[in-house]
Structure 1
Amino acid sequence: MRSDDLCPFCSGCEDCLHLFISCPRAQSFWSYLRFDLATVVDIEQLWLANPFQETNQQIRTTLLTCVLWNVWKCRNAKVFRSEDESNLRVATRCHDDLLLWSNRSSKASVKEKLVE
């Protein structure tokens, strides 16, 4: 485990923007999801960019939270277990989390959309 602020994937300075958007590892995952975040210059802008093109705010924020949560878990797998998770593994975990989280919604349309 590192005691500095260097990214475990590329040794860049790890901050929120780097971890979730500009790190080559994060960019690889966003590309895997077929999202281009080239115009996103700060983490707050990610919430406005709406990479999922979703009009329902509850669904949009749930999807984005899920992706960011799993990018964080991918980073922790690298830091704490020296594991390099594949994009497929991270995406599968996103899908599994969305299935789990969809049970918290009382609206059937939201549940259906989250588990697509």
Structure 2
Amino acid sequence: MVNNLYGHISPKKKGRVQSRASLLHKNILAVAEAGCPICHAPLETANHIFFECPFARRFWGAVGFQFPHAADVKLLHGYAAHAAVPPDSASTFTLLCLWNLWKHRNAVVFREQQPCLPLLLHLCRSEARFWRARLPGDQELAEAAWLGCLTENIASV
């Protein structure tokens, strides 16, 4: 095990996101099946799921994240969260957003749900209190900042 992504423990082996590109590489999927189920891009990589897919870009924009054009999952720890998020809770907020984006993508793939940005933001808000429990001490201000980020742009979605 190795510390990465804001010091959290993760498996040492890289490439753990089971994107369609990963499954193609393992000969589990055919080339025709390796596209993004949300935007129909020809190859769904981990970077595509979390940064490049237009749905993911709209999500991050709604939450107030600004990623470089060529964002990379491996460099996630170096990207800044919304300015309103306290620095000591930024990594947890980022993981909350990533986890819910991943779960929403899986609902599209496995339960044939339609991509829905308001629903994704609602799911993030619903889980914020549980994720706040990961933080040391009383972090009500962090949760309030998270909820603000997850709510402030909802009208433009």
Q: TM-score, with normalisation over the residues of structure 1? A: 0.81
Secondary structure of the 1:76 match is helix
Q: Compute the displacement of 1:73 (Å).
A: 1.0
Q: Compute the displacement of 1:106 (Å).
A: 4.3
> Which position in structure 2 is the counterpart of 1:70?
100
Does structure 1 residue 46 correspond to structure 2 residue 76?
yes
Q: Which amino acid counterpart does residue 86 of structure 1 have in structure 2?
A: C
How many residues in Structure 1 have an aligned counterpart in Structure 2? 113
d(CA) in 1 for partners of 2:64 and 2:102?
19
Amino-acid identity (%): 27
Indicate how the Cα distance of structure 1 residues 55 and 112 shifts in structure 2: closer, same or farther if over 3 A, else same: closer
Unmatched 5+ stretches in structure 1: none
Q: Compute the displacement of 1:85 (Å).
A: 3.6
2:119 to 78, 89, 99: 89
Q: Is the 8 A contact 2:64 2:81 kept in 1?
A: no
Q: Compute the displacement of 1:28 (Å).
A: 1.5
Q: Which amino acid counterpart does residue 84 of structure 1 have in structure 2?
A: Q
Q: Which amino acid counterpart does residue 21 of structure 1 have in structure 2?
A: F
> Which position in structure 1 is the counterpart of 2:35?
6
Q: TM-score, with normalisation over the residues of structure 2? A: 0.62
Unmatched 5+ stretches in structure 2: 1-19, 21-28, 146-157
Does structure 1 residue 23 correspond to structure 2 residue 63?
no
Does structure 1 residue 33 correspond to structure 2 residue 85?
no
Between structure 1 and structure 2, the one with the greater Rg is: 2
